[in-house]
Amino acid sequence: MTVRVVLADDQPLVRAALEMVISETTDLEVVGEAGTGAEAVRLAGELRPDVVVMDIRMPGMDGIEATRLVTAGPEPVRVVVLTTFDEDEYVYASLRAGASGFLVKDMALDDILAAVRVVAAGDALIAPSVTRRLIAEFAGRPEPAPAPASAAAPVAAARRIGGVTDREREILTLVGRGLSNGEIAGELVLSMATVKTYVTRLLSKLDARDRVHLVILAYEAGLVTLPR
């Protein structure tokens, strides 16, 4: 099955490089290109791609708002944010907006293609080590979202996880710390299959999109202790 991709970036060279590499694959296909957030939203609605590779800083509507719109509704499209981690302070906001992960623009193109496949398959892109760095980098910074929504987030998240069991809360905490299933299994002396079952149960019970969403919920509910 071919993964249908929309590229949204205001830099034509970035789009051209990705399109050129994707054209050489047999399982990925670029079905549309957008230079603005508004164009990305329109193409996502018209073309219904499997994945939108979304830049954050674009003229007019930025990638965060575009991500929020693309991933909303009864038939959301999955989004991978494309950004420069060392410079862009809005990666966390993009994940909260609904992105399934993020790419760094200086990544190898093959790694970017592999990440698109991961997200298209329904999984999250952020690897455990990157998750830990992401939380440490952004947790203490101002939330780019409007203040009222930001202020309500911890209360809403705490209420949302109120129905999980003690063991599920323990698993969620470790997921929030960025541990992989294997690391969680070692930490709690459980089998990989058992940990996977717990994570699947958490995804369903918390109506979470993917593992990234679980990390966000764990952080917002105060389950994650961040380095100071």
- pLDDT averages per 10-residue partition of the chain, 228 residues: 94 92 94 97 96 93 94 88 66 80 79 87 63 55 42 62 91 85 90 92 87 81 68
pTM of the model: 0.67
Domain borders along the chain are 3-125, 147-220
pLDDT of residue 150: 44
Bridge partners of residue 103, in order along the sequence? 82
pLDDT of residue 169: 94
Note whether 135 and 178 are within 8 A (CB). yes
Note whether 38 and 60 are within 8 A (CB). yes
pLDDT of residue 122: 79
Domains 3-125 and 147-220 share a fold: no
Place of tokens 């071919």: 2
pLDDT of residue 149: 40
pLDDT of residue 121: 83
Q: In what order do the strands lie in the sheet with 78-83?
A: 28-34, 3-8, 51-55, 78-83, 102-104
Please report the DSSP string for 148-186 in residue order: HHHHHHHHHHHHHGGGS-HHHHHHHHHHHTT--HHHHHH
- What stretches of 54-180 show up as alpha helix (H) in DSSP? 63-70, 91-96, 109-120, 128-138, 147-160, 166-176
Which CATH code of 3.30.70.1520, 3.40.50.2300, 3.40.109.10, 3.30.110.30 fits the domain covering 3-125? Answer: 3.40.50.2300
pLDDT of residue 41: 96
pLDDT of residue 156: 66
Note whether 184 and 145 are within 8 A (CB). no
Rounded CA-CA distance 150/117 in Å is 31
Q: Is the CATH code 1.10.150.530 the one for domain 147-220? A: no
pLDDT of residue 127: 47
pLDDT of residue 74: 79
